Amino acid sequence: MNSKVQSLKAFLAGAGRVALVEVAGTKGSTPREKGAFMLVSGAAIFGTIGGGQLEYMAIDKARQLLFSPLEGEMAAKRPEGVGRGSTRPKKMSSTAAATLPGGFAAPSSRGRGVSATLDVPLGPEIGQCCGGRVEVSIRPVDAALEAELIRNAEAEEAQLPHVYVFGGGHVGQALASAVALLPVHLIVVETRAEALEGMPDTVETILTPMPEAMVRQAPAGTAFVILTHDHALDFLILAEALKRRDTAYVGMIGSKTKKATFSNWFLKSAGGSEAEFARLVSPIGGDAVKDKRPQVIAALAAAEIMTALVGRATASAAPPKSHGKVLAG
């Protein structure tokens, strides 16, 4: 399994001089939020601040600071408080933006310490029509900043919501490929070793004869998606998931007949309740789009799962409502 932290470490280890390009402030409508960042080296980038001309301009400026002796010398000679680190961008044609400096040699040493700030209006003058304004800070990555970036990435990764996909068949494979692109920790659980072959390298896989046991071990806020090759196994896993009260999402692939059969078994033989059964999402991805191709089901289900995860996170972050009276005085 290859995580984002591992990718970040690999980029930093092999990039040579690197600049951190970070969204330091926003006003109005912007492509990314404050705190979004990317790393820029002479030949590659890691991450994004939203794309478009804004990103091209930031990449260009970052490479100037890293590799242009003249830029470094001029920045070092600017008096304090007089235009230091501030650049008003000029209009950049799409042709110029597409031919940024590249292919620089990558020395083993980090940047020379020069930093800059871009204050960019997202209007027609740069070929974007978001209407907002973005302040972008650019600074070289030294050893201390590199360590901080890795620590932050590790902390962020530890907080990612978990998604458990039970079943690595055609839909399971397609769903794993779709969900692997999202900011989640994805685990695919199977009883068949061959069904786990070909999974994306960012996906954790678990081979076990008792997949229902994985439900009990999952952290709170997990999304469970059940689509194994065996309906009886689906029911066992689903019963475990529905009896947990701390899940973000519980979904099962299937037809109305399969759902009705599960309902009858769950309520009469598995000790389930109507309230627990009501939390089941089936079929996954909804029934508005009448298309049973695995890739289509996966796309719809991935959107549904992410909506549930974000909704739960937003609800958890909301301040508690006050029901008491506010006393003046």
CATH number at residue 233: 3.40.50.720
Sheet of 86-87, strand order? 45-47, 37-40, 19-27, 133-140, 116-121, 86-87
Find the distance separating the first CA and the last CA of the chain, reported in whole Å. 59
Same domain, 13 and 110: yes
Amino acid 69: pLDDT: 60
Amino acid 2: pLDDT: 78
Domain housing 234: 160-315
Q: Is residue 321 a part of any domain in this protein?
A: no
Q: Which comes out higher in pLDDT, residue 275 or 69?
A: 275
Residue 187: pLDDT band (50, 70, 90) is very high
Q: Is residue 329 a part of any domain in this protein?
A: no
Q: Is residue 102 a part of any domain in this protein?
A: yes
CB atoms closer than 10 angstroms to residue 124: 9
Q: Give residue-wise pLDDT tens across range 15-60.
A: 999 999 999 999 999 899 999 999 999 999 999 999 888 999 999 9
Final residue in a domain of this structure, among 133, 156, 179: 156
Amino acid 36: pLDDT: 96
Overall domain count for the chain: 2
Residue 173 Cα distances to 84, 89, 169, 190, 234, angstroms: 52, 45, 6, 11, 17
Same domain, 223 and 145: no
* Alpha-carbon span 304 to 152, nearest angstrom: 28
| Residue 106 scores a pLDDT above 70 | no
Q: Which residue has the tokens 């960042």?
A: 37
Amino acid 315: pLDDT: 80
Half-sphere exposure of 48 (CA within 13 A, CB side): 6
Final residue in a domain of this structure, among 100, 133, 156: 156
Same domain, 195 and 213: yes
Q: Is residue 140 a part of any domain in this protein?
A: yes
User: Does the pTM of the predicted model rise above 0.85?
Assistant: no
Q: Is residue 224 a part of any domain in this protein?
A: yes
